[in-house]
Amino acid sequence: MGYNYKIILQYEGTRYHGWQKQGNTENTIQGRLEKVLERLNGSPVEVYGSGRTDAGVHAAGQVANFHLAKEHEPEVVKRYLNQYLPEDISVLKAGRVTERFHSRLNAIEKIYRYQIETGEKRDVFGRRMQYALGEPLDIRAMQTAAGFLCGTHDYKSFCGNPKIKKSTVRTVRHITIQQEQKNSLVVLDFVGNGFLQQMVRILTGTLIEVGQRKRLPQEMMRILEARDRRQAGFTAPAEGLCLMKVRY
C-alpha cells in the first residue's frame, strides 16, 4: 500500500466538473490531483476525498488522502502539489497518517456554507461564491423552518439521487442563518454527520422559498415525512456552496 498521506485543500470550483474524476473529462479536482501525484510517485495514485462536491461547488477545507510508494516529507509533497496544480486549487496542509485512515470513512462531521446575495448586484470580489438572488428574504421565517429541519431524520425528500439504495437517514446538528444589519448577504451554515447528494443545495432552495413566503416554516415536517423529492424546494445553484471544514 505504501505511505498514507492526508491533505487539506481549498479550491474554487467554478471551472471544474466537480470533485470526482470522470471518463469523459480530466477537468475534475480529483483528476488534477492524481495527475500531479502520478508524476511524483512514478505510478498511478488514487486520491480519496472526504466527499464529492458537485460541479461548480467550492471548498475551503476539503480533506483527501492517498498512498505513495516512497516516503516523502509532507512539506515536500505539499510544495510539489502546489507547484504543479492550477492556481484555483491550493494545498494548505499535508501530513503522514496511519495506514487505516480514510478521509471519507473516518469523517464524523462536515460544515457547509451557502451564501446568497439579496441585493441588486453581487460583490465584485465574492461574486463566484455567491448566488445572486437579488431580492430580500424573511430571515426569521427561514430560521424557524431551519429548526424543523435539524435533528436525525430521513432526508430522502432532500436527496438529488432518486434511485438511491442506501439509507437516507442523516443527523443535521445545526443550521444557522444570518444577515448582518446594513448587509445584503445572507449566510447559511449547515453542520451534520454527512449529507446526501445535493442535500445542502435542496435544503437551501427550500429555505429560500420560505424566505420568499412561498412556503410556511411548518411545512418542513410534512416534506421530511413525504420522503419525496418533488415535495421539497428547488436545488439552489452550485456557485453559492462551499465545503468549509471536515472533522474527524
Residues noted as catalytic: 54
Contact yes or no for 187/179 (Cβ under 8 A) = yes
Q: Quick one: three-class SS letters along the chain?
A: CCEEEEEEEEECHHHCCCCCCECCECCCHHHHHHHHHHHHHCCCCCCEECCCCCCCCEEEEEEEEEEECCCCCHHHHHHHHHHHCCCCEEEEEEEECCCCCCCCCCCCEEEEEEEEECCCCCCCCCHHHCEECCCCCCHHHHHHHHHHHCEEEECHHHCCCCCCCCCCEEEEEEEEEEECCCCCEEEEEEEECCCCCCHHHHHHHHHHHHHCCCCCCCHHHHHHHHCCHHHCCCCCCHHHEEEEEEEC
